[in-house]
Amino acid sequence: MKKYLTGFTLAAVAAITLSACGGGDPMSSSTTPAGGSGESIIVGSADFPESQLIAKIYAEALKAKGIQVTEKPSIGSREVTIPALKDGSIDLMPEYGGALLQYLDSKTKAVSSEDVTKDLATKIPAGLTLLTASEAEDKDVLAVKKETAEKYNLKTIEDIKPVAKELVLGGPPEWKTRLNGVAGLKSVYGLEFKEFSALDAGGPLTLNALLSGQVQVADLFSTDPALKDNNLVALEDNKNLFLSENIVPVINAKKSTDVVKETLNKVSAALTTEDLISMNGRVAKFEDIGEIAKEWLKSKNLG
């Protein structure tokens, strides 16, 4: 589960959500008319800032091609977004290859970007289409404060095992049952924590809980500038619980026209992990998400 930004305060997240959709019901929408191609598409996102940012990039790139875009950001987790894609409540959203694959097939053996992409292509639900995956990647990481790492000599996730029962793990609510969460940490690494604290998807609740000591281990994300800003230690996933997480557009097949595919594949080809880290840092400083998306597209000659 990716893909957010833990450097945000609650106010920042609220500001981003408001700037993206005007607030209110996440399944409500805002429509921006564009040229006269006759095509229309509903772009959704998960409920964390990086997904909102990438969805905004998709939306602005499509508008530049004359497609009418309706935006429905901050919908929720895959338990909500995948059915929404299938029933047409939304047509398109950014996804993360490994996490999506584990959601669809908890027994997958794929780990590398190449293997995840191949396996995912065979597991994507009928009626949905995967477009070209980007080299840009954002992975879950288990993070601890530097003093915690030094106290228990933690370098890898496996190193937690002898002290896990002394530590509280923080992460999004869905982590309680997901393979790439509490279940996988137990089955793959043998970790049984003192407690699991349901917080948010790598957001301000999780970061603040880690920094304050409410939790000692937290699910954060590899493109989050808060890791470096707060001198946190991302533990090595030495048993590959978290698969490669390349950004990939997932679209309802009925909306996968040549123009849409060409536009989004160009976005995927241009997007880099370094771009995500840079843009995430700007979002964390309260910059407008729409302007960030437009500036990135312009810098890549895509908008």
My answer on whether 62 and 125 are in the same domain is yes
CA neighbor of 268 nearest in space, from 13, 50, 39, 61: 61
What is the reported pLDDT for 10?
36
What is the reported pLDDT for 203?
85
Give 27's Cβ-side CA count (13 Å radius): 10
My answer on whether 129 and 18 are in the same domain is yes
Q: What is the CATH number of the domain that holds 69?
A: 3.40.190.10
The residues near 169 (Cβ < 8 Å, ≥ 6 apart) are 182, 185, 193, 195, 196, 197, 215, 216, 217, 218, 219
Q: What is the CATH number of the domain that holds 206?
A: 3.40.190.120
My answer on whether 174 and 271 are in the same domain is no
CA neighbor of 277 nearest in space, from 98, 49, 45: 49
My answer on whether 167 and 217 are in the same domain is yes
If one counts the domains in the chain, the total is: 2
CA 4 – CA 202 distance, rounded (Å): 5
My answer on whether 195 and 261 are in the same domain is no
In a domain, 206, yes or no: yes
My answer on whether 103 and 250 are in the same domain is yes
My answer on whether 111 and 253 are in the same domain is yes
What is the reported pLDDT for 38?
72
My answer on whether 127 and 21 are in the same domain is yes
My answer on whether 177 and 255 are in the same domain is no
What is the reported pLDDT for 24?
43
My answer on whether 249 and 109 are in the same domain is yes
My answer on whether 168 and 58 are in the same domain is no
Q: Which domain holds residue 60?
A: 10-137+243-299
In a domain, 5, yes or no: no
pLDDT tens-digit profile, the chain (303 residues): 444 334 443 334 433 333 433 344 555 555 554 445 679 999 999 988 999 999 999 999 999 999 999 999 999 889 999 999 999 999 999 999 999 999 999 899 999 999 999 999 999 999 999 999 999 999 999 999 999 999 999 999 999 999 999 999 999 999 999 888 999 999 999 999 999 999 998 888 999 999 999 999 999 999 999 999 999 999 999 999 999 999 999 999 999 999 999 999 999 999 999 999 999 999 989 999 999 999 999 999 998
In a domain, 1, yes or no: no
My answer on whether 49 and 122 are in the same domain is yes
What is the reported pLDDT for 11?
36
